Structure 1
């Protein structure tokens, strides 16, 4: 019997558990450990609340979770309740699937001012993540700047621009919905260091901006390369640029909120008296290698809110080699140390889609099979249960999660799939609901 512990219950964790089941059959026991009392990671707290079809993949993970040889061990924090070294003693293989939940820092003057937030915090706020539910972003100024040219930046801009009615059917949490309803924002600027050919926005997400009730995307035709240059792009990127061209050709000036694409624009400072009031931007040019360089031309954009969507980092764990530059665990194709592996964003950094984690998980399962051909007789889950019990850790099971979920569904506002509990205390209390 192989005993496998997976730290992190998001897509990478569950795909790895699924892969181990298929690779080893009934000859495994898998424990999926998470610091939160709820499973599914970014499916619950990272995917935009108005993208319910994407969140539906959690049903696949639930199928894995309900099998006898896989279990969820929630409300257990590595570094507080137990260490990686203790896990390695108990299990034949330990897989780190912790994702990249921390914002990459915005290293410019003024980034610490109130009103400047990272996308992990902002997205966590409107998704009800317990770490960020009390964020209370400043939405009382007409201007907002979103730094980044990827899908997360699009999500943030779209959430800021939507009407309350447009959130029908979503699971945005009530306090965020209420604060967004009071927002005074009229101009949302999407700031990108490079140009349209370098965006990381996918066509589906980009197209959504063109169908908002009260907000119109604005693209300056002068920022677009000659149409013939699009031929060098891959099909998805070409379609995204085509959408930008359509937006540039048919601006809708009648809507009260403007979502302005500001390309070739690099933030260099944030200014304000006691809170953010403006962001200073330097115009850029792209060199032959596709890198952006400042031109010396600067200008200011008024803003009371700045959301930085420039990437994420995996938090270090004591006893695990870490790659500071890449912001992830140091590994060789997923191998970190003997019996210790990394998968998903914790392995490769914050890149790819949810589905990218599936082949990643299957590759790690194959490595575990090659490295650990048979079980070693380690204590596995029995040893974990004894250790956690000796430390009075309040463990949340998958059955507990099902009761929490039922309570959230019962509390949902009309048309919404659920109303999330946004505190650890609330989640733990709902187990008895």
Structure 2
């Protein structure tokens, strides 16, 4: 009997470290890890020890004889990975603690409380001589795990248990409801701490740059996600769901999350931790079709196979794909013909082809995947969006002819999936349009910023004065604000660990100056500046209040969605 990894996989690699036979791949030491959609167990190597099941924070691993009908598909997905990957390398050796300077303590401030911040903190508090204070402007921690993960994916939120374990360390303290840039500035942190790690994420959405993008009803998918997840900054937003069709530009996991929430049964969502205001609005929604626009082909779909596959399991929802749009770029087609197409891409294409063969059911809602289609403009009036003007794209063999290559910028000959408009255009009526094309970071006063990339310039987590410049002593960065808005939990764990190890190395090699002031002054300083700090005990009270409210309805929690109510709960 073998074990199988299924949809909730968060890629945090904790299962890899406990596997005695190196049967889980890719490992953090393998190049594929940074781009892997999920982890995979080799059925021929697994010895059925069960260690990975106990270690998995999101309950994604099962014995093959305990899979339900929907999970059985992951038997093939796990096995398919090993058609073009092997298990010969990637063993993860236990990390030894480096010797720290005798008789010295290091106080570290971490700005942000999302996954990368916690994985950096986890690495730091392994050492009793290092203390961590974690700051976040919200009264609640966990970043996008709380405010970004879809409410119908409760297993994925299981990583909160790992974060809570770190927060329980005696050398860790919360400074929630404290805003850096308002209650503290960069110089305050560097004055009071030996090291400062910025982990404040990529907090704003990217724009399409097309006419009509500012019309009412044209919104960022990130705003919609934050709204239905109960983020206090978005709880008062209102979205018009009176039309029958919504268009989502983009085909990553966020786009699929949005489509699923719009089309799923409100009765089913009522058992999740979705915000009550969103649930009420969705009950009255008229949306029966969501169209997802991907400017390239199916092989370049940005969603993971697990999320793509799950779209076909929504009760009362048909997945619609035109077989004629399942066109592969020349390189992918050649690899498929030769039997050398990457297994993950091959699975993506196979799932799409299976969906394309399904017969729609009369009366069902629809999620429509459109490939090789780009929006050109949004049309409507002051009342809202009415139409999306679209262009059909085509693959080109010469990358320099691609629409992705504005101006005279040369592109490497090896560039794949170059596209250009085919000349065919069409209108797609829609009452709401969401752009789901990614996040980008914003500058923080006093901290260097690379506006072109939307990140803090850095080398291995050490902040640089400017891109390519010298490192700033004692200032570090991790997460999306370090590398851009790519990668999920697993990548954030590697990223957080890399930055933490840079801090530890600099401390060990005595490259960090002692702060000129004591971190003990911070509570009084932020109180003087009007911060209503919420500490670990306060967060536990908020958490308990939400879970207690959800219990009678069989819900994981009912989220408190206003700052004031959170403060009241924390101080109760």
Quick one: distance in 1 between partners of 2:199 and 2:147?
A: 16
Instruction: Name the counterpart of 1:431.
Output: 570
CA contact (8 A) 1:31 1:381 kept: no
CA contact (8 A) 2:183 2:530 kept: no
Instruction: Name the counterpart of 1:345.
Output: 480
Quick one: distance in 2 between partners of 1:404 and 1:381?
A: 26
CA contact (8 A) 1:138 1:305 kept: yes
Quick one: distance in 2 between partners of 1:173 and 1:391?
A: 31
Q: 1:40 aligns with which of 142, 162, 165?
A: 142
Instruction: Name the counterpart of 2:116.
Output: 12
CA deviation after TM superposition for structure 1 residue 353, in Å: 1.3
Instruction: Name the counterpart of 1:395.
Output: 533
Quick one: distance in 1 between partners of 2:235 and 2:419?
A: 35
Quick one: distance in 1 between partners of 2:276 and 2:267?
A: 13
DSSP 3-state at the match of 1:190: strand
For residues 97-130 of structure 1, what are the alpha-carbon distances to aligned partners after superposition, in whole Å with 9 as ceiling and x for unaligned?
A: 1111211122111111111111210100000001
CA RMSD across the alignment: 1.6
Please show how residues 61-210 of structure 1 align to structure 2 within 5 Å. Answer: 61-210=163-312
Instruction: Name the counterpart of 1:277.
Output: 386
Instruction: Give me the TM-score of the superposition, normalised by structure 1.
Output: 0.96
Quick one: distance in 2 between partners of 1:213 and 1:127?
A: 22
Instruction: Name the counterpart of 2:153.
Output: 51
Quick one: distance in 2 between partners of 1:49 and 1:210?
A: 18
DSSP 3-state at the match of 2:312: helix
CA contact (8 A) 2:263 2:289 kept: no
Quick one: distance in 2 between partners of 1:55 and 1:380?
A: 36
CA deviation after TM superposition for structure 1 residue 386, in Å: 3.0
More displaced 10-residue stretch of structure 1: 380-389 or 55-64 = 380-389
Quick one: distance in 2 between partners of 1:241 and 1:159?
A: 24
Please show how residues 300-319 of structure 1 align to structure 2 within 5 Å. Answer: 300-319=427-446
DSSP 3-state at the match of 2:257: helix
More displaced 10-residue stretch of structure 1: 125-134 or 164-173 = 164-173
For residues 120-152 of structure 1, what are the alpha-carbon distances to aligned partners after superposition, in whole Å with 9 as ceiling and x for unaligned?
A: 101000000011112211100011001101111
Residue 179 and residue 229 in structure 1: after superposition, are their counterparts in 2 closer, same or farther (change >3 A)?
Answer: farther
User: Whose RCO is larger (CA < 8 A, sep 6+)?
Assistant: 1
Quick one: distance in 1 between partners of 2:254 and 2:518?
A: 38
Quick one: distance in 2 between partners of 1:156 and 1:228?
A: 34
CA deviation after TM superposition for structure 1 residue 273, in Å: 1.2
Quick one: distance in 2 between partners of 1:308 and 1:267?
A: 10
Larger radius of gyration: 2
CA contact (8 A) 1:45 1:127 kept: yes
Residue 141 and residue 238 in structure 1: after superposition, are their counterparts in 2 closer, same or farther (change >3 A)?
Answer: same
Runs (5+) with no aligned partner, structure 2:
1-104, 398-414, 464-471
Quick one: distance in 2 between partners of 1:280 and 1:323?
A: 33
Quick one: distance in 1 between partners of 2:152 and 2:130?
A: 37
DSSP 3-state at the match of 1:388: helix
Instruction: Name the counterpart of 2:553.
Output: 414
Instruction: Name the counterpart of 2:356.
Output: 248
Quick one: distance in 2 between partners of 1:7 and 1:233?
A: 42
More displaced 10-residue stretch of structure 1: 232-241 or 35-44 = 232-241
Instruction: Name the counterpart of 1:286.
Output: 395
Instruction: Name the counterpart of 1:30.
Output: 132
DSSP 3-state at the match of 1:71: strand
Quick one: distance in 2 between partners of 1:45 and 1:232?
A: 39
